[in-house]
Amino acid sequence: MKPCSSYHNVDLPATMQVDQHWTKKYLPTVMLWAGSYDDIWNIPDKVLLLHAQLIFNVVYKDLDITIVHGGVIHSLTAQRISEWHSNFGSTGIVIILDFLT
């Protein structure tokens, strides 16, 4: 295992990258789920792992992979949610700065 921040999409198994299922199906579905979670700013790892696995099983029906904490799938999923949060914060700062000027 690598440190969580050093995983990239190329670290995913080749079978997961076929037809861009990762970027066009899995991640958008995870973001849709995260957006409907009660507290989008604080999603516990256990909850993320459970729902990421459920989504994974639907998107990748033919693969028998279990998502583990700190593994490539979990790390990239958590990283994408973190980037999503960061975009909200950056947008809020830009709106406030624009208002103040």
* pLDDT surpassing 70 at residue 1: no
pLDDT value at residue 54: 97
* Distance (Å, whole) CA 6 – CA 37: 27
Nearest to 21 by CA among 73, 71, 66, 79: 73
pLDDT digits (tens, 9 = 90+) for 63-96: 999 999 989 999 999 988 888 867 777 888 889 9
* Direct distance between the N- and C-terminal alpha carbons of the chain, in angstroms, rounded to an integer: 47
Q: 91: which 2 tokens?
A: 């947008």
What are the extents of the domains in the chain? 4-100
Give the residue from 61, 74, 54, 75 showing the smallest Cα distance to 15: 61
Is 0.75 surpassed by the pTM of this model? yes
